Structure 1
């Protein structure tokens, strides 16, 4: 997959089939649209192109810095590549770009830059300044500039009954298995392993402390989770705690992963954690010994779950 972060660098002599959107989560509804695009492009000997935007428009237009996204831009890129997309264009979303009229957007970007032959969009797609552009306008512009417009019907999308908002709510509530069923893959957290206070190691549960630099990344609610990760060529399972470590008077939220049967040094390495299931709420224990006993129960429950799902 080729990636362009600047439209001025984009060159395509081949005709393109394009879809447009934020695609946060790249969930099963998104995947339906993208797979349709890729299949149609191959059939017509065209190039499949996805035009997405970053930062999220709400961050720019509404100064909504509190909005949390299911994927970092890096995770989104990884997921789109896995689907078989040929070209990803990540266009920087700015206030000046938001002022582009629907006509200018179609003519300057879709036609003159992307060399569009077909546009594939969702049934409720709007574009251009103040979201003034709609499907009927796109059909008119398509007639003028010689490209076709395919609309994914409400019926097709509604059959799946999923949205990025539903998924965010599920993750925020710790309903990880529900979120994963909507995503079509396991919700992930990607970050660098940094040094912690080694408190877990002292009680027999050493942890990898995950630092996620993207402040806009959605983090599940505090509590304990069952997780897996691909490290090197190995699939490693474990349990993760997101929280403030009240038993040892922690002050800042941390993300700590204890891997089972794994003892390699991960400091400074970037890893991706797949979140499988919610174990329990975070709680304050009377003593470190009581915490250790609970961690042993958590480990047993995690291994039972993993064996039931993966090794039946």
Structure 2
């Protein structure tokens, strides 16, 4: 997959079939659109292309909104690499870019920069300054600039929007099963391992603290989760706590993972964990000893989950 970080950096001169969107989550609804895009490109000897933007347009135009995204940019790229997509263009979104008129956008972006011969887009797609142009306008521009427009049906667009809404809601409620079903893959958290207070090690449950630099990344509801990671091409399971460690009067929200049967120094390493199952809410225990007893139970439950699901 070719990755371009600026759509105006034109190096190759090939024709494309393109769709435009944020594709946050790259979930099952998005996959159907991408499958259609890829198949169409192969059938017509074109390059399948997604045009997306970063930062997210709402981050730029509505700076007061507390926008949380399902993917960091690098997570999105890694997922899209698995779809068979030929080209991903990640264009920097700015206020200046948002002020392009509809025809400027079509001519300068879709035609001159991307060489679009076909655009696959939702029936409710709006574009240009203040998002005033509609798919009817795009079809007219297509006739003028010699590209075809294929409309994604209301049913397909509704599936995409409903899935995104359900995923965010599910994650905020700790319903990881529903979120993963709509994503089509386990929800992931990516970050750098940082040093903690070392309290876990004192009770035989050492943890790796994950620091996520992207503040816009959606972190699911507080609680304890079964997770897995891939470290040096080896799958490692663990249990993760998202929360404030109330038993030891924690003041800061942390993401801590206790990996099972694993004893390597992870400090300063980049890591990605996949959330598989939510075990319980975070709670305050009367003593450290009570906390340790609960962690032993959590470990037993985690091992049972792994044993059941790893064999499937």
Q: Which moved more, 1:129-138 or 1:199-208?
A: 129-138
Q: Which residue of 1 aligns with 2:102?
A: 102
Q: Which residue of 1 aligns with 2:135?
A: 135
Q: Which residue of 2 aligns with 1:265?
A: 265
Q: Which residue of 1 aligns with 2:277?
A: 277
Q: Which residue of 2 aligns with 1:288?
A: 288
CA distance in 2, matches of 1:160, 1:108: 28
- Map Cα deviations across residues 48-69 of structure 1 (whole Å, 9 max, x no partner): 1110011111111111351110
CA distance in 1, matches of 2:113, 2:67: 31
Q: Structure 1 length normalisation: TM-score? A: 0.97
Q: Shift in Å at residue 157 of structure 1?
A: 4.2
Q: Which residue of 1 aligns with 2:115?
A: 115
Q: Which residue of 2 aligns with 1:38?
A: 38
Q: Shift in Å at residue 292 of structure 1?
A: 0.2
Q: Which residue of 1 aligns with 2:198?
A: 198
Q: Which moved more, 1:10-19 or 1:254-263?
A: 10-19
- Map Cα deviations across residues 227-261 of structure 1 (whole Å, 9 max, x no partner): 01111111111100001101111111110000111
8 Å CA contact 2:29, 2:159 repeated in 1: no
8 Å CA contact 2:30, 2:160 repeated in 1: no
CA distance in 2, matches of 1:33, 1:191: 29
Change (3 A) 1:161 1:115: closer
Runs of 4+ in 1 over 3 A off after TM superposition: 156-162
SS of residue in 1 equivalent to 2:82? helix
Q: Which residue of 1 aligns with 2:187?
A: 187
CA distance in 1, matches of 2:151, 2:206: 51
Q: Structure 2 length normalisation: TM-score? A: 0.97
8 Å CA contact 1:203, 1:292 repeated in 2: yes
1:229-268 map, 5 Å: 229-268=229-268
- Map Cα deviations across residues 160-197 of structure 1 (whole Å, 9 max, x no partner): 77332221111111011100000011100000111111
SS of residue in 2 equivalent to 1:162? helix
